[in-house]
Amino acid sequence: MVLILLTGLAAFSQKESALTKKYSPEALREDTRVLKNVILKMHPVVGIYKNSEYYESLFDSLSNSLKDSLTEKEYRIKLKLVVDELHCGHTEVMYSPAFYKESGKLRYNYSPYFFLPTQNKVYMLASLNRKKDTLIRRGNEILNINGIPADSMLRYSMRFISTDGYNTTGKQHYIKLGFNTYYLGLFGRPDTFKVAYRQDTAVKTVTYTAFKAKKIPPIPLRAKEDSLFKKFRKARMGYRYLNSDKKTAIIKIESFSRKSFKRTYRKIFRELNQNKTENLVIDLRNNGGGSLENSYRLLSYLIDSAETQTLKTRIKSYPYKQYTRGNVLFKLMRFGFRMIAKKTSVNDTDNYIYTIKPVKRNHYDKRLYVFVNGGSFSASCLVAAYLKHHKRAVFIGEETAGASEGCNAGITPYYKLPNTKLRVRIPAFRIVHDVSPEISGRGIIPDYSVQYSISDILNRKDLELQKLKELINKDRF
């Protein structure tokens, strides 16, 4: 009995780590084949930016290149580069649960300096070890890290960030948030860093040791939080007046929550009407989307005439159901769409056409501004597209990460690959902005573009708000 127990413990202790386990070329090719078949069968973007033959060739090239055994991480890197060609920000390749579980217990090497990309350059933003004097000053440009040019690291890292269409502002936005993890994950986590940087006109080099942590502590990148905002936490939004005369109001929508939004909109727009507010700002910066119903409700207070928005799907149920879950939920969602939208079918595609109708009570028809940036995605881009089409608002900021013609979402099941157990999120619906159906691959372009320099970021300025005040003051005189 003791011998059996010891044998079992020995076998358990020798279990191969999910972080280092290698998969044979045959196993990797099977995973590639499964994902190729799922995407060609169900992904709504196929035929939008590239045809099915293009994607079939892309996956076949990946399969043919798999000659050696790879770890889960190595295979994921290859797969993400292929998936990025879908030009869909809702599609993602994620590690297996076992990989996340093991990696979450480890402490990794990080640089004690937080590097920030902006305008295609990399700068030192903050020292994570505040107890010691900093060797590199805030705002110094980083030229290379361990011999690799910083701009090369930046360009390569952005290839692993998927956005809709051919947009780049979304990639630039998310690399600001994740560069200090991306470059280490892709280029290695050394014990010692050798960094070349520019200070004034001189180029200097410094060598320092890494520090170990489970993750990097949060670093403030945005303008300081405005304490004057009245917040509605469940609805994930807040509003405030710019001045005591209440002539200008800002509604900041962090995301399109599924909770309490109807009540919150009623309260806000009733108050705007009572105060005869002349200028309204909808702040969609860093809003990654959320509830379609919420976005429709917001539009109903702002657009002047009814508009339609269409959800399309080519599938009646999930293909290759052995690799995913949630097929019943998908069917329920199709049934729910039939209850609130008009259904039509063209060949093998079902279309669910929803009509967004303006509300009469407390409808806002005065001057409107919208703040957008590279973090404005999915439902926030839907709102922006319809307001842009109606010429209803002045847009300030950056091009949105979401495409003006629509995106792929609605419901996004996860497929688990049979061998590596990588999880791939694949949308089941194409969301079409009926007001701008032409395929451009671009986001909503602002009327007034702003670009943040490293100085603006260090001083935590709000350039969109500055431009708004400038425009309002100009209109007064």
pLDDT for 247 beyond 70:
yes
H-run or E-run covering 3: helix 2-13
Angle at 348 between CA 429 and CA 44, to 5 degrees: 25
pLDDT for 226 beyond 90:
no
- Choose the weakest-confidence range: 126-135, 155-164, 175-184: 126-135
Query: What pTM did the predictor assign?
Result: 0.92
pLDDT tens digits for 72-124? 999 999 999 999 999 999 999 999 999 999 999 999 999 999 999 999 999 99
Tokens read off for 418: 């049979």
pLDDT tens digits for 384-433? 999 999 999 999 999 999 999 999 999 999 999 999 999 999 999 999 99
Cα separation, 124 vs 135, whole angstroms: 11
Which CA distances in Å does 33 have to 40, 57, 136?
11, 12, 48
pLDDT band at 4 (very low <50, low <70, confident <90, very high): very low
Which alpha helices (H) appear in 233-326, and where do they start and end? Answer: 261-274, 292-300
Close Cβ partners of 280 (under 8 Å, ≥ 6 residues apart): 248, 249, 250, 251, 272, 364, 366, 367, 368, 369
Contact 319, 327 (CB under 8 A): no
Query: Can you list the domains of the chain with their CATH numbers?
Result: 108-213 (2.30.42.10), 230-412+429-476 (3.90.226.10)
Q: What is the dihedral of CA 130, 136, 139, 143, to 10 degrees?
A: -140
Cα separation, 402 vs 201, whole angstroms: 39
Alpha carbon 69 to chain centroid distance?
A: 31
pLDDT tens digits for 335-393? 999 999 999 999 999 999 999 999 999 999 999 999 999 999 999 999 999 999 999 99
Cα separation, 257 vs 232, whole angstroms: 11
Q: What is the per-residue DSSP string for 383-431?
A: HHHHHHHTT--EEEES--SS-TTEEEESS--EEEPTTT--EEE---EEE
Partners of 310 in beta bridges: 353, 432
Burial classification of residue 212, based on how many CB atoms lie within 10 Å of its CB (0-12 exposed, 13-18 middle, 19 or more buried): exposed
Tokens read off for 249: 């109001």
Close Cβ partners of 472 (under 8 Å, ≥ 6 residues apart): 248, 279
Structure letter (DSSP) for residue 84:
G
H-run or E-run covering 199: strand 192-199
H-run or E-run covering 239: strand 237-241
Instruction: List phi, psi (to 5°) of 236.
Output: 60, 40
C-beta neighbour count of 237 within 10 angstroms: 27
Identify the pLDDT of residue 156: 95
pLDDT tens digits for 456-473? 999 999 999 999 999 998
Alpha carbon 218 to chain centroid distance?
A: 18
Cα separation, 414 vs 416, whole angstroms: 6
Angle at 183 between CA 182 and CA 189, to 5 degrees: 110
Alpha carbon 44 to chain centroid distance?
A: 18
Strand order in the sheet with 342-346: 342-346, 349-356, 307-313, 429-432, 406-409
Query: In terms of Cα–Cα distance, which of 271, 281, 273 is closest to 248?
Result: 281
pLDDT band at 14 (very low <50, low <70, confident <90, very high): low
